[in-house]
Chains A and B, each alone.
Chain A
């Protein structure tokens, strides 16, 4: 009996170590962001907000932030706009070649981003189109579409078909049925899909490096450019801002969508 307990505590200790290992670097970034020293490294010499202040005056980073926000928002809207109907088709209908098409639409997850980046870039160049915001947008929609599909499909499986059939049999048009029945039930998943698409788009580096121009650099591409010199405390500050933003968004969204799903009065 004693041996079993010690085996289990080894598992616990190992799990704890994995947690520490996973989060120590992230915590270090946040701590070092407050280090007033000229070099973004240990030891800590006091506590200051000066790198955050400096960051807020850096117009190229603010521009990159704006680009990232606009790109991420449009990506989220387009990816869900085309992903939700596709998810409906997979869950609500039977048709030939379903598995094949499902795999095809999910393929971008398994294809290295480098290849997606090269492929779309060369193709656009061959069509004699310049690199533009539109290229970034369509690229990001393809990158994020599989995740939207997966999330919405998973939710749609849980929504009984009978609700929709009841509405249809009571005389609602298919569009009315979607608007009045399916959409409200699906809203949390659509919201989650949009959020996921936004985050992936906001976060993407590899493919974006192929598609971005000097004018429409996103935050990660900008950070990548800054890194070429050295890791400055400003990068740590920017990292801290991004960590706080990206961690709090899904937590907040999860909270809101739970409230939203329950509806008023419950």
Chain B
């Protein structure tokens, strides 16, 4: 059997090489780069100094963008949870023959272009969008309501992008729960609500927490919704990174911001993995 031990490594080597050279090494390189000195002309100077990090925490401007990012992420997680749990519970409970069809429909947005989905909100929330058009037509308002280019619009875009992930994670967890458990609780005198609260809901928590983590991490790295649906005050950390790296070509500082985001997310994912196990997320995603 010993001669077999090298076989999986041959099969793995192309993928491992790709991820190592195109992901691990470059990400480590970003961390190294974050200590370098910026040279306004020509190549940046290799160094080991914390100036780029000091610059980030120098005044309140940059940390406030980080705080905005975290706040938006928490708000998105919260809304996603409410908007995701109820449909997932519906799928779990329903005996409709349309269930497979309804589930395919929920997954459809995965296939629809992200940028189209994001910008489609302009047609709904804009000054001449659907909501303002209808409200003005029925005479409810005279002037269009300003619903675009604020944090609410950004969260709308994020929710639409992330809700399928949340629904899927919760549904997979619910689907693994034996329905007779809740029935047993009810036959012992629980009400429907009590049976849900005491039996079904606690058993669905792995899916809930996996969904929350995924939504949180994906929101923290989001670039497009704040760019398209947000105003100047709704910048998030990814927008800042893009501006520094592509806009002002300040690569050492851009690297430092990337490193801060990376360390923050790694801490969260690591803590989560320690207590919950990360495999739940991958299990759900492969179910698709």
Contacts and interface: CB of A to CB of B under 8 A. Distances in A.
A: interface residue count bin: 35 or more
A18 B87 contact: yes
A142 B86 contact: no
Contact of A29 (B86, B123, B241): B123
Interface string A77-110: 0000111011011101101000001111111111
A122 B30 contact: yes
B128 interface: yes
A151 to B, nearest CB: 6
Interface residues of B, number: 83
A118 B269 contact: no
Contact of A206 (B113, B223, B245, B288): B223
Contacts of A83: 15
Contacts of B81: none
A53 interface: no
Given A15-B86, A203-B114, A243-B113, A105 B221 contact: no
Interface in A108-133: 108-116, 118-123, 126
B25 A112 contact: no
B141 interface: no
A85 B14 contact: yes
Contacts, number: 249
Given A86-B15, A142-B23, A42 B223 contact: no
B246 interface: yes
A114 B223 contact: yes
Contacts of B89: 11
Contact of A239 (B105, B113, B214): B113
Contacts of B61: none
B124 A105 contact: no
Interface in A121-179: 121-123, 126, 138-139, 141-142, 145, 147, 149-151, 153-154
B276 interface: no
B190 to A, nearest CB: 12
A223 B116 contact: yes
A112 B261 contact: yes
Which residue, of B12, B86, B106, B126, has the highest number of chain A Cβ atoms within 10 A?
Answer: B12
B8 A89 contact: yes
B15 A29 contact: no
A111 B27 contact: yes
Which residue, of A101, A110, A112, has the highest number of chain B Cβ atoms within 10 A?
Answer: A112
A112 B217 contact: yes
Given A43-B133, A86-B11, A86-B15, A109 B126 contact: no
B118 to A, nearest CB: 9
A184 interface: no
Given A85-B12, A138-B18, A243-B112, A95 B5 contact: yes
A139 B224 CA distance: 19
Interface in A27-64: 28-29, 32, 39-43
Interface string A193-219: 000000100110110011000000001
Contact of A220 (B9, B25, B113): B113
Contacts of A24: 124, 130
Nearest to B23: A142
Given A25-B121, A118-B254, A154 B287 contact: yes
A145 to B, nearest CB: 6
A107 B238 CA distance: 18
Contacts of A109: 281-282, 285
Contacts of A119: 23, 26-27, 29-30, 258
A102 B238 CA distance: 27
B275 interface: no
A261 interface: no
B167 to A, nearest CB: 8
A38 B176 CA distance: 52
Which 4 A-B residue pairs are closest in the complex by CB-CB distance?
A112-B221, A25-B120, A119-B26, A93-B8
8 contacts: A19-B105, A25-B160, A26-B117, A101-B16, A105-B15, A112-B262, A210-B246, A220-B115
Interface of A: 4, 7-8, 11-12, 14-15, 18-19, 21-22, 24-26, 28-29, 32, 39-43, 81-83, 85-86, 88-90, 92-93, 95, 101-116, 118-123, 126, 138-139, 141-142, 145, 147, 149-151, 153-154, 199, 202-203, 205-206, 209-210, 219-220, 223-224, 227, 231, 235-236, 239, 242-243, 246-247, 249-250
Interface of B: 4-5, 7-12, 14-16, 18-19, 22-27, 29-30, 33, 83, 86-87, 89-90, 93, 105-106, 108-109, 111-117, 119-124, 126, 128-130, 133, 160, 163, 192-193, 214, 217-218, 220-224, 228, 238, 241-242, 245-246, 251, 254-255, 258, 261-262, 265, 269, 278, 281-282, 285-288
